[in-house]
Amino acid sequence: MKQRILFVCLGNICRSPAAEAMLRRLVESEGLGDVIEVDSAGTYGGHRGERSDVRMRRAAAARGIEMTHLARQVREEDFELFDKVIAMDDNNYEALFRLAPDRRAQQKIFRFKEYLRRHTDWSYIPDPYYEGHEGFELVLDLLEDGCATLLDEIR
């Protein structure tokens, strides 16, 4: 059965679309593109319809990852459409918890930090929006770590 994963951050222009593009590239490189569906969304809708932040796109492109997502806000029906809804930080997690219509939906919410194996000193994926280049590189390092774990789970 197809696994459907939704990554969620605040604006859906930095962290979650990068996670989406990274996991998609990983599964496709393993020939597993058919067994997983991956998407991303933001708890805040102010950037809806926009391409990802150019700083995030450039940093991802330097690692061979192309980001084509257009931002959208997470909605209640996402809890029907996805098996796992993975929050980048605690604020996103709490916003998702409030949006979830019932207990079954709440049980689909996870924190990205649960998938970190090498960067265990991080308890969330830090918002890079007001950071310099290193902030974006750190996000990608953390996402690589967690996406490798997710790929292992899918395999």
Give the binding site for ligand 4NP (CB under 6 A): 9-15, 42, 46, 127, 129
Least distance in angstroms from the C-beta of 10 to ligand 4NP: 3
Least distance in angstroms from the C-beta of 48 to ligand 4NP: 11
Q: Do 82 and 4 meet the contact criterion of CB atoms below 8 Å apart?
A: yes
Please give the Cα distance from 103 to 114 (Å, whole number).
20
Active site residue 9: yes
Residue 32 or 55: the one with the smaller Cβ distance to ligand 4NP is: 55
Least distance in angstroms from the C-beta of 70 to ligand 4NP: 13
Element holding 3 (H helix, E strand): strand 3-9
Exposure pattern of 39-69 as b/e (b: 16+ CB <10 Å)? bbbbbbeebeeeebbebbbebbeeeebebeb
| Residue of this chain nearest to ligand 4NP (CB atom) | 11
Residue 31 or 62: the one with the smaller Cβ distance to ligand 4NP is: 62
Least distance in angstroms from the C-beta of 72 to ligand 4NP: 12
Please give the Cα distance from 85 to 28 (Å, whole number).
20
Of 14, 127, 145, 147, catalytic: 127
Of 9, 14, 39, 145, catalytic: 9
Taking residue 90's Cβ as centre, other Cβ atoms within 10 Å add up to 12
Q: Do 142 and 16 meet the contact criterion of CB atoms below 8 Å apart?
A: no
Active site residue 102: no
Residue 144 or 154: the one with the smaller Cβ distance to ligand 4NP is: 144
Active site residue 15: yes
Positions annotated as catalytic residues are 9, 15, 127
